[in-house]
Amino acid sequence: MTPEQRKEFHEKGYIYIPGALSKSVVLPVRDHVFKELKRLNIWSTGRTLSQKMKGVPVFQQTGKLGQLIGYRGLNDRLISQELYSAMCLLADAPLHGQNGQLLISLPHQIAWTLEGLNWHRDISKSQMKGIPGIQAFILLDNVAVKGGATLALAGSHRLQNQVQAKQGISELISDGVNNSVKVGDVELLVLEMAGHAGDVYLMDMRVLHTPSVNSTKNIRIMATARYFAE
């Protein structure tokens, strides 16, 4: 962890570590997901098979697929000692992890948009004072831009209140082209967690984030794990 990475984390609320995990670590998990999708008759050879999944609203799909498909010992497999140490350094505290989750989305067959998304935090208001924890997002397969990667609102961990957050998001939506906006003295920027298999994003849990539309023909396969300060 370099001083630059720590500075960037404090400013933006995240760091991106391309190639943090080797392909031999992540691809077996991806292949397990493909096998399960085929076994459950949901997806095979580039096609959605399941009628029942087609009826599920876009942003409920990932939750539903996450209930159907698991991977035992996901954190043990994906959170290396090096990643864990990096997270503790960033949080400046020992951390304890919750069970990881798979984040899977089928092609949504709609145009990519910033409108109507579900921006949220996975912590309560009372946890907003210091860094409450770090959430790791791991790419288990290549994820293209507009391919359903998690979006984060970089800088939003520094916003004073919910009104500012809402203002920033609505300005970003109405702007349409530019993915950055200034609210008070905080620069907000939409981060799309796209990249290659093995890349990892580490995010301050105060950062607003949302599922996004997968407008490609490929399935999006990521994993996430939340680590909380004790």
Ligand X SMILES: O=C(O)CCC(=O)C(=O)O
Exactly one of 195, 209, 219, 225 binds ligand X (CB under 6 A); that residue is: 209
- Residues in 101-120 at the binding interface with ligand X, rule: CB under 6 A: 103
What's the CA gap between 222 and 200, in Å, rounded? 10
Exactly one of 6, 27, 117, 122 binds ligand X (CB under 6 A); that residue is: 122
Tell me, what amino acid is at 147?
Answer: G
Rule CB under 6 A: say whether 206 interacts with ligand X.
no
Q: Find the shortest distance in angstroms from Cβ 104 to ligand X.
A: 8
Distances (CA, A) of 80 to 18, 20, 31, 225: 15, 9, 20, 12
Q: Find the shortest distance in angstroms from Cβ 147 to ligand X.
A: 11
Binding-residue total with ligand X (CB under 6 A): 7
- Residues in 156-185 at the binding interface with ligand X, rule: CB under 6 A: none
Rule CB under 6 A: say whether 150 interacts with ligand X.
yes
Residue 30 or residue 209: which is nearer to ligand X going by CB? 209
Contact call for residues 4 and 183 (beta carbons, < 8 A): no
Binding mask 20-49 toward ligand X (x if CB under 6 A, else -) reads: ------------------------------
Q: Find the shortest distance in angstroms from Cβ 154 to ligand X.
A: 15
Rule CB under 6 A: say whether 224 interacts with ligand X.
yes
What is the chain's length?
A: 230
Instruction: Give the number of other Cβ atoms within 10 Å of residue 42's Cβ.
Output: 20
Q: What residues pair up with 206 in beta bridges, in sequence order?
A: none
What's the CA gap between 138 and 202, in Å, rounded? 9
Exactly one of 43, 62, 191, 223 binds ligand X (CB under 6 A); that residue is: 62
Find the DSSP H helices in 92-182.
Answer: 162-175
Going by C-alpha positions, the residue among 42, 39, 158 that lies closest to residue 105 is 42
Contact call for residues 168 and 183 (beta carbons, < 8 A): yes
Exactly one of 21, 42, 211, 227 binds ligand X (CB under 6 A); that residue is: 211
Q: What residues pair up with 135 in beta bridges, in sequence order?
A: 203, 226
Q: Find the shortest distance in angstroms from Cβ 220 to ligand X.
A: 8
Give the residues lining the site for ligand X (CB under 6 A): 62, 103, 122, 150, 209, 211, 224
